[in-house]
Structure 1
Amino acid sequence: MFRLTQIALALSLTVTAGMAQALPPLGDNPRVRAEFLSAAVGDEIRKNCPTISARFFRVMARAKELEDYALSLGYTKDDITRMRKDPANKAELKRLRDTYLAQNGVTPGDAESYCRLGLAEIEKNSLTGWLLRAN
Structure 2
Amino acid sequence: MKLIPLALAALLAAAPAFALVPINKEEHINKTLLQGFIGDAIADNCPTIEARTLRALGELNKLKNYALKQGYTSAEVRAFVTDKTEKARGKAEAAAWLATKGAVPGKPDAYCRIGEEEIAKNTLIGYLLRSTK
Q: TM-score range by the shorter chain?
A: 0.7 to 0.9
- Taking structure 2 as the reference length, the TM-score comes to 0.81
| Aligned: 1:132 with 2:129 | yes
Superposition TM-score, scaled by structure 1 size: 0.80
For 1:64, the equivalent position in structure 2 comes to 61
Match of 2:103 among 91, 102, 106: 106
**Contiguous gaps of at least 5 residues in structure 2:** 1-16
Q: Does 1:79 align with 2:92?
A: no
> Unpaired runs of 5+ in structure 1?
1-17
CA distance in 2, matches of 1:25, 1:90: 16
RMSD: 1.3
Distance 1:108 1:28 in 2: 28
Is 1:44 equivalent to 2:41 in the alignment?
yes
CA distance in 2, matches of 1:33, 1:76: 16
Which residue, out of 22, 25, 44, partners 1:25? 22
Match of 1:119 in 2: 116
Instruction: Give the paired residue count.
Output: 116
Name whichever structure is richer in helix by fraction.
1
